[in-house]
Amino acid sequence: MEELFRALTKALRAHQLYLRNNPVYQKAIETLNEAFRRVWESSAEPVVLEVSESELRCEGKPVYSQASRTESIAWVLFKDGVRSITFLAGVEEEEIVGLLDVLHRARTLQADANDDLLTLLWEKDFQRFRYVFQDLVSDAAETPLPTAAEITPAATAPVNVASAVKEEAPQDPGLARVADLDASLYFLDEKEIEYLHAAVREEYAQDLRRNVLSILFDVLELQPYATVRAELISIVESFLPYLLGAADFSSVVYVLREAKAVLLRARELSPEHRRALEELPARLSEEQTLAQLLQSLDEATLHPTADELGELFGELRQEALPTLLGWLTRLTNARVRDVVETAIQRLAAAHPPKLVEAMRAADPGMVLEAVKLSGRLKLELTVPALGAAVGHAEPAIRVAAVQALAQIASAAALQALEPGLDDADREVRLTSVRVISQHRFRAALPRVAAVVQGKSVRAADLTEKMAFFEAYGLLVGDEGVAALDAVLNRGGFLKRKEDPQTRACAAMALGRIGSPAARTALEQASADKEALVRSAVGRALRGLPGAGGGAEA
């Protein structure tokens, strides 16, 4: 239920800020519907909630609480007499949008408006949302009035407020004293006092910073004088670093949003001023500013909403890509990291040259993330840079480059990973040869043949040795049967008996060729005295087309 009301609060805010066709609004409604579905999955019974001034309770436990009355759903319901609400299954499919509209309209009603919350609810005629209200007028009418006999002259005598005030200490002569004021026959009743208290609380609860920004943008939109607009734009530009330093990210989003609105609505906006407003998001993309933003977000205890974060990072320009890549591995906050990854993918897909630039950076972490991202996005334009990364000093980057080229899998990409076959790192060599085998990239045959016929593969472990021999068998075809037969049955390339592991690998390579000549060579070794060789020959024969069995291991 707590999750449900968190989703309801976000949906109400989206209902207030966005149109129905806005993706943010649609996402908020979808999240709210999913929260309702989880409630109905746990219990199909109607959900009954008690309403108080600041919270909603379900079965005696608070599930929603908001101290600020201007933002509180509970207060909107309570002040107009609603004391209990009930949700029935299916409310999210038919009536939840109407309920959001009622709550939003009830919040914005003027004091002298003819409507109130109950009138708005009655107009909607909800079937799956029910409410119980208390008639405040009727309750007040039940209090008996005093009779004429009970009213005494003392009770009706005027009260001198000034004489009732006792001064406890001398006051500053510049301050007004109650004793100096005229006595009054009347004083504020409880309803009026509560109204004043609410007005004071509302005044102090206002976001003064947001109000100042609103005034700035209103004047900027309506004031046609160029000098005034230039000064206002200068103030807004200088305000952005302050907002970032104060970790007021929602205000940063507000500034960027209002700047867009001014660009659309302001009349006679000069090209210089238009360019300055359009460049506001570019300030966020500067390395120093963006690094400050990411650090503040990662260390902050209170974060903006996911929608605000998405809108904030959606304004970043291509210049931000290297900085984002460099910070990605340092971020500890999962939500911030997810938003940063989304921004990185958007920028990289739109600006591959910037991703190539990041691959040439001095920071290994940035290079590694850029290489991985190129593979995930399958960016053909990054293939030359990935080919250069195959020769990077860091083994992890070389492996990632080979894997990225494998994900792109174009002819140019497969050709670019060929140098990985001769790499000093085993993981790079193994990944490269497996990719070439998978795609049967015949252009790599000379390099594979050089490894198989050379001395380096003899010192490799069985896994790597088998990968190279099988790749050789897949690429060479019948042309390689004679050489492999020599390794398996006679003397090998150097006319001396090969070790059992190498001979077993040659048998598996012949099985990959699968031709009649390859079968003949395998059958010749089916009775070999080495168990490892006999086992490999048996598996190779069983894998041949039309094989009914083969040699026993």
Taking only the tens place, the pLDDT of each residue in 442-451 is 888 888 888 8
Q: Determine, yes or no, domain membership for 359.
A: no
Residue 86: pLDDT band (50, 70, 90) is very high
In this structure, the answer to whether residues 130 and 220 fall within a common structural domain is: no
SS3 113: coil
Is 168 a member of any domain? no
**Which among 325, 303, 328, 320 is positioned nearest to 253, based on CA atoms?**
303
CB 83 within 8 A of CB 132: yes
Burial 171-210 (b: 16+ CB within 10 A, else e): eeeeeeeeeeeeeeeeeeeeeeeeeeeeeeeeeeeeeebe
- 374 and 470 fall within a common domain: no
Tell me what percent of the residues of the chain surpass a pLDDT of 70.
85
Confidence at residue 177, expressed as pLDDT on a 0 to 100 scale: 63
Which CATH number fits the domain that encloses residue 468? 1.25.10.10
Whether 461 and 431 map to the same domain: the answer is: no
Rounded to whole angstroms, the Cα distance separating 252 from 239 reads 9
> Side-chain half-sphere of 470: how many Cα atoms within 13 Å?
18
Q: How far apart are CA 417 and CA 429, in angstroms?
A: 10
**296 lies in a domain?**
no
Q: How confident is the model at residue 50 (pLDDT cuts 50, 70, 90)?
A: very high
Q: Virtual CA dihedral for 200, 249, 315, 71, nearest 10 degrees?
A: -40
Is residue 355 assigned to a domain?
no
- β strands within 117-225, DSSP E: 129-133
Higher pLDDT, 152 or 247: 247
Q: Are 387 and 456 part of one and the same domain?
A: no
> What is d(CA 140, CA 248) in angstroms, rounded to the nearest whole number?
46
β-strands 47-51, 82-87 pairing: antiparallel
133 in the same domain as 16: yes
pLDDT at 368 exceeding the cut of 80: yes
Domain-ending residue, one of 230, 253, 284: 284
Tokens matching residue 513: 């060729």
Phi and psi at 86, nearest 5°, equal -135, 130
Residues 434 and 449 in one domain: no
Q: Domain of 494?
A: 445-553
The answer to the question of residue 431 being in a domain is: yes
Place of tokens 């593979």: 375
What confidence tier does 239 reach under pLDDT thresholds 50, 70, 90? confident
461 and 526 housed in the same domain: yes
Domain membership of residue 154 (yes or no) is no
pTM of the entire structure? 0.48
Predicted pLDDT at 54: 85
Question: Looking at 116, 137, 158, which one is the last position of a domain?
Answer: 137
The three-state DSSP-derived secondary structure of 398-443 is: HHHHHHHHHHHCCHHHHHHCHHHHHCCCHHHHHHHHHHHHHHCCHH
Residues 501 and 423 occupy one common structural domain: no
Per-residue pLDDT tens over the stretch 114-158: 778 888 888 888 888 888 887 655 544 444 544 444 444 444 444
Q: Judge if 470 and 548 occupy the same domain.
A: yes
370 in the same domain as 490: no
Total count of domains within the chain: 4
Last residue of a domain, one of 399, 415, 439: 439
pLDDT of residue 296: 77
Q: 185: pLDDT confidence band, cut at 50, 70 and 90?
A: very low
Which of helix, strand or coil describes residue 332?
coil
Alpha-carbon distance of 181 to 179, in angstroms, equals 5
371 vs 251: which has the higher pLDDT: 371
Pair 6, 130 in one domain: yes
> Domain for residue 198, yes or no?
no
Same domain, 81 and 36: yes
Distance in angstroms (rounded) separating the CA atoms of residues 438 and 448: 14
